[in-house]
Amino acid sequence: MQPTPDSQLPVPQGPARLPAQPTGPFLLDSGGEGPAVPLTHYIWLIRRSFKKIAVFVLAVLAATIVVTYRMTPVYEATVTLDVDRRGRTDVLGRDSGPISPIDSDQFLATQVRLIQSDSVLRPVADNFRLLERPEEQIDKTAEDRSKNADSPVLLKGLRVVRPPNTYLLMVSYRSTDRRLAADVANAIAQSYLEHTYRIRYKEAAGLSRFMEKQLEELRTKMEQSSGALGKFERELNIIQPEEKTNILGTRLIDLNSEYTRAQSDRVKKEAAFRSVADGNVEAAQVSSQREALRKLTDDFNAARQRFAEVKTKYGVNHPEHKAASAHLEEIRQQLESTQSSIRKRVEVEFREAESREKAFEGAVADTKKELDRLNSRSFQYQNLKREAEGDKKLYEELLRRIKEETINSSFQSNSIRVADPARPARKPVTPNVPLNLALAAIFSTILAVGSVILHDVLDDTVREPEDVARTFGTDVIGSLPQVKQWQEQTIALSAPGGLTHVSTSSQLSAYEEAIRSLRNSILLKDFERRVRTLMFTSSTPSEGKSTAATHLAVAHAMANHRTLLIDGDLRRPTVHQRFGVENSRGLSDVLIERASWREMVTETSVAPGLKILTAGPASPRKAADFLGPCLSQILEEAYADYDLIILDAPPLLGFPECLQMAAAVDGVVIVAKAGETSRKGVATVVTTLERIGANILGVVLNHVHQKISDTYYYYGYYGKYHGHYYGRPKA
């Protein structure tokens, strides 16, 4: 499909206003989750800042090398202690068994803390004068060290580690002297072994002295309790009172069981007796004659049913009626006789059960009284017996422990021993040059990359079309590339049919092509409802709205379309400077003096069909008051003379006349400087325009380049495809 030439763009014959397109509400910092940022974006960020990241990492590595080689070498020596879980902590006694596997972790953790205690470290520190060495001086001044002389000794170079799944303790010490490191490590291990021996010896000796004092008291107490037990046995006149108590207890349990069963049987028979006495036939059916009673009941029901049938069918005097009545009466008498017999039997059974219950109740009470009497004496006997036996057992146990502790205190525990003594190290442990460089490279890279990503995340400027569509609910209708050589250049006609600047370059060519794309995006959107009046605005000054409006007007006029460019920025007009025309009279004269706007229009030789209405002398406040009605009248009159009217408005934020201009035109284009304009500013502009019902055509991102986002990568290569500018070879 061939592209449509610029001269063939459709031109409507009458004025048409596009209705405001509802963009919907938007929140700048909404909590909704937008589309996820692709991984390629972060890769592009890293590639864009690769040089900075590399310089930072190299600087950190260089600093690390300098610091590492200026550090004093430190050597480490390690002594290995073996904790024998099968070894005996004592020669005799209950502690002579192996260490319990359940308590091994707690035991080893206790030994680690014990090695780091002041009682173990102080003799070593005093022997080798460790606290006077620079690497062990925690306090800065001599005065501070003298104040803390009595404080617990802490050695910075000491490290005690237990390798996982082992019963070993690794005692390491670091020092700038390799021989000193080995000697101190061995001395700490020996001091620890001696300290544990002293603790156990003092404990055993103290316990022996204490138990010897208690031994005499226990002997006296044992003799007294034994004498009281013998006296009580003579008074009770029973050799084994607990055996008799057991016999009575068993008998009481049996009687109580029989009494419970008799009580249950009495309750059941009493319930049957009460039910029968009340005339309950169903209760009578539980008796021994329940089968005969059930048969008589069935016969009675059958006879009664037969009698009812005969009574219905025959008369009272009929023989069948009399026979059925006699049969029914006979069966009723038999049933009543049987029920009466059952009532008497149930009563007899109830009386027997009641008597049996009372007999067992008396037997239980007598047995319990006898057992209580014996228990009151037997309980006292048992207390005396337990006291006597306990005193004797405690005395014997205490005597045994005194002998054991006396023997154990003379032996040193062999459950912990030195398995591998420390030796002077060959190489220092610090500084470790490869490790330091690796860590410096890793952390510096993470810090640099994180800073780049954090800076990108915290960037509140408008950069990509996706940000605009997601945040503001409107589209990006054009992107204008950055032109570095652009510095207040004027527009001139270099040759018939050709547009150029003072400086022609591939960047300017790319810009003009982007302007042509913007023109097509606006004018080719809908042929039937095409925009006739167009306003360019921005949130703040210096965002390129005037430049974009000027070039759009030139591009539209170059397509042989009648175009009117109005400079509506009454405070800082710039259109006349770009075309090199006078600004002595213009829009301000039309607004204040009510002059004819056609008389103020200036023709330019830049493009055929392009005319300019400059801003005129500066009079912003007074002219702004008449802008609304006058501008609407100017636009209505210009509809017949021009195909497109472009209005260069001032920034919307802080200038009230922009709202009147936006309400008078068919569409509004918001220009934002990519990478510099804040999202809040654009959001305020969009919200303000939507509130007055203006038709927002979209946002134009200006000054875009490769370093803003990976979306604009093609601008970096755009100039390679421009061998000439608008059909003309480069000069």
pLDDT of residue 669: 92
> Are 385 and 527 in the same domain?
no
Interacting residues of 202 by C-beta distance below 8 A, sequence separation 6+: none
- Kindly provide the b/e burial profile for residues 447-480, where b requires at least 16 CB atoms within 10 angstroms of the residue's own CB: ebbeebbeebeeeebbbbbebbbebbbbbbbbbb
Domain-located, residue 596: yes
Task: Please work out, in degrees rounded to the nearest 5, the angle formed at the alpha carbon of residue 62 by the alpha carbons of 57 and 66.
Answer: 145
| pLDDT on residue 11 | 41
**Are residues 676 and 530 part of one domain?**
yes
* 214 lies in some domain: no
Indicate if 502 and 552 belong to the same structural domain. yes
Q: 3-class SS at 690?
A: helix
* Confidence at residue 273, expressed as pLDDT on a 0 to 100 scale: 72
Strands (E), 130-175: 158-161, 168-175
Q: 679 and 533 share a domain?
A: yes
What are the residue ranges in the chain where pLDDT is below 70? 1-37, 85-102, 137-149, 207-208, 212, 229-230, 232-246, 248, 275-293, 371, 373-384, 405-414, 467, 484-508, 525-529, 619-626, 707-731
Q: Is residue 303 part of a domain?
A: yes
Asked if residue 394 and residue 503 are part of one domain, the reply reads no
Asked, for residue 78, whether it belongs to a domain, the answer is: no
Do 643 and 579 lie in a common domain?
A: yes
Ramachandran quadrant class, 214 (left: phi over 0; alpha: psi -120 to 50; beta: rest): alpha
Q: What is the pLDDT of residues 123-182, one digit of tens each?
A: 999 999 888 887 776 555 555 555 556 788 888 889 999 998 888 999 999 999 999 999
From the list 432, 489, 695, the residue with the least C-alpha distance to 606 is 489
Domain that holds residue 372: 241-408
* CA separation for the pair 441, 161 (Å, rounded): 29
Residues 375, 450 share a domain: no
CATH number of the domain encompassing residue 469: 3.40.50.300
Residues 475 and 403 in one domain: no
pLDDT at 394: 77
Q: At what angle do helices 433-458 and 39-48 cross, to 10 degrees?
A: 110
Same domain, 468 and 440: no
Query: CA nearest 474: which of 669, 198, 314, 226?
Result: 669
Instruction: Tell me the CATH number at 357.
Output: 1.10.287
438 plus 476 within the same structural domain: no
Domain count, the chain: 3
| 581 and 443 share one domain | no
Say how far residue 414 (Cα) sits from the centre of its chain. 51
User: Are residues 404 and 437 part of one domain?
Assistant: no
